[in-house]
C-alpha cells in the first residue's frame, strides 16, 4: 500500500466525498462546491480525481462512501443541516483522531473565510483534539470566544480549554471566559456574569457566527465529574432527574430539554440557543450515543461530526 502524506490523504477523502455526491447522490457540481465549501472549478477537479484515483467503479470503492450514506441518513432522521461521519478504527475505537481531523477541516474553512467571523468554542477532549489538528492560519480578522468557563471552583485552569491554543495558531484575538464553570451558589452566577469583561464575552458568544461544541455523557465517568466540576452526589441527583448528557455544562434529558436543577442554576456558560443556529457538535463513542441522540432530538445542535460505529448506533 502506498504511504500517503496527510495532505494527500485529505485530498483523496475530499475527492471521495465529491465522487459520492456526484455519482451516488446526484448533486450538481455547483451543489458539491457549496456543500464542500470550495469553488466550482475545485469541485470539478475533485470529481475528476475520484475517477482518476480509481475510486469510482460500479460503486464508490472507498470507506468514505458508507460513511456518507450514514451521514445522509442521520441528517434525514434527526433533521440536521450537516453530518460528517469518519471511519472507525477497530484497533482504537475511542481514539479522537478521525473526528478531530474532520472537525478541524470544518473549522479551517471558517478560518479561511475573508469576512470577519465570531467563532465560539466549548471545551473538552473533542475540542482540544480538533484544535490540535488545525493548521497554522493567519486569521487576525476573526474573534475566538469561549462558550464555557475555563476554571474550576478552586481556581485551577481547565486542561482542555481550546480557545487559547486556537488563538496561538491563528493570531486572532480571543476571549476566554475566565470564571468557574459552575459556581457554588445560584445567586453568585448573575453578579459574576455581569462583571466586565465577562458580560462582553457572553455578548460576543450570543452573536457567534458558528459554535463548535463537544457532548458529554452523564454516566459514572461523566466529564463534569471527572474534571472536578460536580460532586458524585450532584451527578447522582442529575441522573435521578433524567440527565443523560451535557452541552457546554448544561445538563439535558433524553428529549434534549435542559433540566430544572440546582446544578444548571449554577452553570455560568453561555445560554443554549433554541433552536440551535450553526452549532457543530463533535462527539463519538458508545457511552455518548444517548447524549448525542438527546442533543439532536432537542435541536441543541445543527451539525454533527462522529464516527461510523456511533452513527450506526444512533440510527433506528
pLDDT at residue 283 in the model: 97
DSSP conformation class of 288: G
pTM of the model: 0.82
Which residues in the chain land under pLDDT 70? 1-4, 57-63
pLDDT at residue 245 in the model: 98
Q: Helices 63-78 and 289-297 sit at what angle, rounded to 10 degrees?
A: 50
pLDDT at residue 61 in the model: 57
Coil/strand/helix, residue 125: helix
DSSP conformation class of 187: G
pLDDT at residue 57 in the model: 62
Catalogue all structural domains in the chain, each as residue range(s) with its CATH number.
Answer: 6-53 (1.10.10), 65-314 (3.40.50.1360)
Q: Residue 216, by phi and psi: left (phi above 0), alpha (psi -120 to 50) or beta?
A: beta
Cα 81 to its chain centre, rounded Å, is 13
Q: Longest Cα pair distance anywhere in the chain, in angstroms?
A: 64
Please state whether the peptide bond connecting residue 275 to the residue before it is cis, i.e. omega within 30 degrees of 0: yes
Question: Are 210 and 119 contacting, i.e. CB atoms less than 8 angstroms apart?
Answer: yes
Question: Are 243 and 251 contacting, i.e. CB atoms less than 8 angstroms apart?
Answer: yes
- Cβ neighbourhood burial of 159 (10 Å; 0-12, 13-18, 19+): exposed
List residues bridging with 305 in a β-sheet.
84, 282
Handedness of CA 20, 60, 86, 17 (dihedral sign): negative
pLDDT at residue 129 in the model: 94
Cα 118 to its chain centre, rounded Å, is 16
Quickly count: other Cβ atoms within 10 Å of residue 30's Cβ. 10
Query: Would you state the cell numbers that stand for residue 183, as one nine-digit string?
Result: 459556581
Closest by CA position to 50, among listed 27, 71, 82, 21: 21
Amino acid at each position: 500500500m502506498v504511504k500517503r502524506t496527510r495532505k494527500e490523504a485529505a485530498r483523496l477523502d475530499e475527492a471521495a466525498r465529491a465522487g459520492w455526491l456526484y455519482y451516488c447522490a446526484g448533486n450538481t457540481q455547483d451543489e458539491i462546491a457549496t456543500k464542500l465549501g470550495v469553488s466550482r472549478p475545485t469541485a470539478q477537479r475533485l470529481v475528476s480525481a475520484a475517477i482518476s484515483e480509481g475510486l469510482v467503479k460500479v460503486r464508490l470503492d472507498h470507506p468514505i462512501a458508507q460513511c456518507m450514506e450514514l451521514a445522509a441518513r442521520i441528517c434525514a432522521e434527526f433533521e440536521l443541516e450537516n453530518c460528517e461521519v469518519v471511519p472507525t478504527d477497530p484497533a482504537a475505537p475511542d481514539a479522537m483522531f478521525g473526528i478531530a481531523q474532520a472537525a478541524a477541516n470544518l473549522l479551517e474553512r471558517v478560518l479561511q473565510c475573508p469576512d470577519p467571523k465570531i467563532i465560539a468554542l466549548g471545551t473538552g477532549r473533542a475540542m482540544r483534539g480538533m484544535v490540535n489538528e488545525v493548521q497554522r492560519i493567519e486569521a487576525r480578522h476573526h474573534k475566538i470566544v469561549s462558550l464555557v468557563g475555563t476554571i474550576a471552583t478552586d481556581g485551577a485552569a481547565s486542561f482542555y480549554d481550546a480557545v487559547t491554543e486556537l488563538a496561538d495558531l491563528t493570531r486572532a484575538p480571543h476571549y476566554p471566559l475566565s470564571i468557574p464553570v459552575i459556581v457554588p451558589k445560584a445567586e453568585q452566577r448573575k453578579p459574576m456574569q455581569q462583571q466586565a469583561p465577562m458580560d462582553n464575552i457572553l455578548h460576543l458568544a450570543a452573536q457567534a457566527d458558528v459554535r463548535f461544541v463537544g457532548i458529554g455523557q452523564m454516566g459514572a465517568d461523566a466529564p463534569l465529574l471527572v474534571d472536578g466540576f460536580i460532586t458524585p452526589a450532584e451527578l447522582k441527583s442529575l441522573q435521578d432527574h433524567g440527565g443523560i448528557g451535557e452541552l457546554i455544562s448544561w445538563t439535558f434529558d433524553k428529549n434534549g430539554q435542559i433540566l430544572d436543577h440546582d446544578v444548571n442554576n449554577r452553570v455560568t456558560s453561555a445560554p443554549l440557543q433554541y433552536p440551535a443556529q450553526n452549532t457543530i457538535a463533535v462527539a463519538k463513542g458508545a457511552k455518548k450515543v444517548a447524549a448525542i441522540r438527546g442533543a439532536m432530538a432537542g435541536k441543541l445542535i445543527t451539525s454533527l461530526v462522529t464516527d461510523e460505529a456511533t452513527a450506526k448506533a444512533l440510527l433506528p
